[in-house]
Amino acid sequence: MLKFYFDLMSQPSRALYIFLKVTKIPVEFVKIDLKKAEHLTDEFKAVNRFQKVPCIVDGDFQLSESVAIFRYLIETRNGVAENWYPKELKTRALVDEFLEYQHNAVRLPCAMYFQTKFLIPIFSGKPVNEERVRSFKKQMENSLDALENIWLQSTEKEFLATKEISFADVLAACELEQPKMAGYNTFEGRPKLTKWYERVKEVTNPYYDEAHVIVNKVIQKNKSKL
């Protein structure tokens, strides 16, 4: 049985969790609690040498990196609807283009904004480094504007790379939740991105909301504070 190791506070963990639930790939879900540092144990190091989530174990085969895991599952599991990773080579290449683009253009600034503005001050007890927050905010806003004005520019497709939803959309949506926990609404003032976000949730619910229960609690809690 395939084992999936995850923590729902991790963006790519949530994306794979939603993908696995929607596609009903048979899998055992194994929670690794990052807050309890369960990823730093020797036991988990034997599962993933990089000691990060998400990762999988399939028989004796170990694999990390969400996008690599996604591609491996597409190739080795039957019955996954084609829209998640189209077989037509040019359409597939456009999904790949986003999957590679997002690492530094989307994930990095969104995660770093969340960390510098919210996570690091809480865990270190030190004041917010406002200069770093400003720098990541600027990068993040450039990135969000590129999603709104370049990726979602075409009227021929409803999703980032394709007409129907692909894994690119789920991965991106999960990354865009992270800054909301630090009080920044990534969708406000971006109408195309807002509509796209609603479509992603519509296609993937109830699993999208299920993956975001804790994240949404943090967002609600911080709305009043920030």
Strand partners, 23: none
Rounded to a whole number of angstroms, the minimum distance from the CB of residue 161 to a copy of itself is 10
Q: Establish if 141 lies at the interface with a copy of itself (CB under 8 A).
A: no
Residue 3 host element (H or E): strand 3-6
To a copy of itself, the closest distance from the beta carbon of 226 in angstroms equals 26
Residue 38 near a copy of itself by CB under 8 A: no
Query: Does 71 participate in binding a copy of itself (rule CB under 8 A)?
Result: yes
Helices 167-181 and 191-204 pack at an angle, to 10 degrees, of 110
- C-beta of 98 vs 212, nearer to a copy of itself: 98
Kindly identify the residues of this chain, within the stretch 168-207, that bind a copy of itself according to CB under 8 A. Answer: none
Residues constituting the chain: 226
Q: Which stretch binds a copy of itself (CB under 8 A): 16-24, 86-94, 172-180, 203-211?
A: 86-94
Position among 35, 78, 89, 124 found at the interface with a copy of itself (CB under 8 A): 89
3-state secondary structure of 143: helix
- For position 94 contacting a copy of itself by CB under 8 A, the verdict is yes
Of 24, 49, 138, 195, the one binding a copy of itself (CB under 8 A) is 49
User: Exactly one of 11, 13, 64, 178 binds a copy of itself (CB under 8 A); which one?
Assistant: 64
**How many angstroms separate the CA atoms of 60 and 126, rounded?**
43
Q: How many helices (H) and strands (E) does the chain have?
A: 11, 4
Side-chain-side CA neighbours of residue 18 (13 Å): 31
Least distance to a copy of itself from the beta carbon of 67, Å? 5
Assess 226 for contact with a copy of itself (CB under 8 A).
Answer: no
Query: Strands 3-6 and 28-31: what pairing?
Result: parallel
- Assigned token pair, 42: 């020797």
- Using alpha carbons only, how large is the chain's radius of gyration in Å? 17
Contact status: 68 vs a copy of itself (CB under 8 A) = yes
* DSSP-derived 3-state class of residue 5: strand
Binding site for a copy of itself (CB under 8 A): 49-50, 61, 63-68, 71-72, 75-76, 89-90, 92-94, 96-97, 99-101, 103-104, 107-108, 146, 150
